[in-house]
Amino acid sequence: MSELDLEAELVRVGDAVSRRFEAQKRVLGFAEYLELLGENPWRHTRDAARYLRDCFDHWGTEKVRRPWGEVTRFKLFDLPFADTDGRRNDRLVGQEELQKRVYRALSGFQREGRANRLLLLHGPNGSAKSTFAACLMAGLEAYSEMDEGALYRFSWVFPRGTDGKGIGFTTGGGAPPPGDTYAHLPEERIDAKLPSELREHPLLLLPIQERRTLLRKLYADVETAPPDWLWNGELGHKNRQIYEALLTAYRGNLGRALAHVQVERFYISRRYRVGAVTIGPQMAVDARERQITADRSLGALPASLSALTLFESFGELVDAESGVIEYSDLLKRPLDAWKYLLLAIESGEVALPLSNLPINAVMVASSNELHLQAFRQHPEYHSFRGRLVLLRVPYLRDHLQEQGIYDAQIVPQVRRHVAPHVTHLAALWAVLTRLKRAQASHFADRELGKLAADLTPMEKATLYAEGTIPRRLEGDEGKTLAEGIDQVYAERSGANDYEGGFGASPREMRMVLLDAASDPDERSLSPVALFDRLTQLCERGEYAFTQMETDRGYHDASGFVALVREHWLDLVDDELRGATGLVEETQYLELFDRYVQHASHALKGERLFNEVTGKHIEPDEDLMENVEGMLGAKDHEAFRGDLMSAVANWAIENPDETVDYQKLFPRYMEKLEEAYFEQHKKQIEAIARDVLALVDPAADEELEGDRRAVATNALQKLESEHGYAHSSLQTALTELLKARYES
């Protein structure tokens, strides 16, 4: 490879930056900005609420199928603009209902002309309220970098005179000719530059009546009215003083005054607190004022302007102008420390000692349920309620979505092998602690209400995650529940007592998983270590959800550990059976299919065709009785009749589909599977022990011939198809044999 020419590279990078600077129209004169505005009026006259709504629209939506129905997800919250996988791990998982409600609120702000209410996200600790706000800000950052999201503010520019002195406001040679601008002067020819810290819109420089006339023309073909921010807005106190001084000096010549305006593009940045600010529950007003005319760098200002006492605003509200401000844990503040916000939202400005600060930002706040409940008891709550949009943010109730959080955010931090199913089991346990038993009286359909109330916690968790109907429910009951999953998921609840409003949070599960991963006695992050930590968590009783009164299996955090452990053993058992090849689903499905064929012909008194011999034969009575014995049938004739009636009904309702025995007869398939397993249990156990011998170097030499070949094949399948390493497989098979195979 030839030696890199660093000087040439620097020139190339410099050229690219210069071209990008020009293409992005970073610096404009006022007239140039008006020309840009005329090309796309909507884009360049949006207030913060419209800008955020357009940001939602820019990234688009997608339809996502959930067991409880199809939902719309805004792609913004998947962070498609993130340039690394690490940043995408910060995406918002689930919470599509919250996304929809915020978008609806922004649409309301657009119709009303401005953001006139505070978006208050409330839910249990760790339910992704901060993640939601962070995604909003990240989306705004990326959007502001694009042409569609261009944002502009202005500064006042005062150039140096040709004689080396400030030009003042004289009418001599230093004054700008009409239509000219100082916006593009090089830095060395500028004596002073006063930026608008409020990032005020350049149109606010036009007198209000003339501005409204222009806005009417710009919005002539737009159904929505211009935002109140521009229709009724005024310059901030500092910029109004400068504007009036310039008009006075130029004897009312607006063009010459506007020659001092430099319009600059700016970009949302959370890191640099530009249009994206998060603040904690401090005890002060979030904006202040300070004098700026004493600054030595402004000594070159014209005399008539230097005589003014200029103050600039600063603080979090100022930093958030044109974007989003998040008040984290807002209700931890005493009411007197933040109620000014609600008054500011209503009026659109905050009163400061010397001026009123206009607000152009979407305000988002968060609170846990405890503080919101206390606020609801406050005498002034009802007077503030109309200025709030309450947005519930519950914990996830789908353990597959919950698992996605752990896989993306926790597993990369674990510096050792992560055993299969660990994050799945942790997510399942967490979701189980968040569920509550359905109340039959909450359902208009009494049958659905009864079925929902009878669901066990595990059945309900599986219903939410996979849409799986319990195998014990057959026929009309299963169909009723399948059609009513959305109603079960959306069961009405109280303001404080709702499903997903309590239980283990992702933050707590993060600590549990990382603690389990640090166990020096384990070579991997194993389910056994996870169960140990969960048991300890329950025994300590530090969290409210571990102290809840149980309700027919619900709210039993300690019992859920045992339940999830059994679920894990089921998974390992299924994987082992599949790896041995002795008990495969196709085997007993084929057996059941043969049984149905023989039973059908037997009921009709017909012979059936044998494809192997090419002859018609009598139905095999031994085969039928053997299967019926596995299924526990006592009256064989009645059993066959009922079964064939069910098959016939399926065929009528689904004329173009092959009969799905797993779906039509789930309990029979379960019994047949177990019967098949019992027939091969000893062989499966022997293979499992041989696999353990393979992964134990000390016992490896004991295996020879066919035993070694069979065990090696099973080991390879478990590793390649399920992700086991020797350490995690040894733990899983040891626990399985001890619990299920040893007599």
| Tally of residues, the chain | 743
- At residue 520, the pLDDT reads 80
The pLDDT score that the predictor gives to residue 307 is 63
Instruction: Tell me how far apart the alpha carbons of residues 241 and 311 are, in angstroms, rounded to a whole number.
Output: 10
Strands 288-291 and 69-74 come out as unpaired
Tokens 């399920």 correspond to 722
In sequence order, which residues have a C-beta less than 8 Å from that of residue 648 and are 6 or more positions away? none
Query: Among candidates 399, 414, 431, 684, which has minimal Cα distance to 526?
Result: 414
Instruction: Please classify residue 165 by burial: count the beta carbons closer than 10 Å to its beta carbon, then call 0-12 exposed, 13-18 middle and 19+ buried.
Output: exposed
Ranges assigned E (strand) in 280-374: 288-291, 311-314, 324-327, 349-351, 356-358, 362-367
pLDDT for residue 163: 39
CA-based nearest residue to 25, from 12, 39, 14: 39
**CA nearest to 266, candidates 197, 215, 316:** 197
Three-class SS of residue 83? coil
**In order along the chain (743 residues), what is the average pLDDT of each group of 10 residues?**
59 61 71 90 91 95 93 94 66 94 94 89 92 94 93 89 44 51 84 85 92 90 85 87 86 89 92 88 58 52 65 78 90 79 78 78 91 88 87 95 91 88 96 95 93 95 93 84 93 85 93 89 88 94 92 94 96 91 73 86 84 81 86 85 86 82 80 80 90 78 80 92 92 93 74
d(CA 743, CA 730): 20
pLDDT at 299: 55
C-alpha dihedral sign at 619, 622, 628, 630:
negative
Give kind and range of the element (H or E) at residue 276.
Answer: strand 276-279
- What integer pLDDT is reported at residue 121 of this predicted model? 95
pTM over cut 0.75: yes
User: In this structure, what are the phi and psi dihedrals at residue 193, rounded to the nearest 5 degrees?
Assistant: -140, 125
Q: Which two tokens stand for residue 476?
A: 């009309």
397 φ, ψ to 5°?
Answer: -115, 10
CA distances for 201 relative to 41, 140, 613, angstroms: 13, 18, 88
- Maximum distance among all Cα pairs of the chain, rounded to whole angstroms: 118
Contacts of 490 (CB under 8 A, 6+ apart): 68
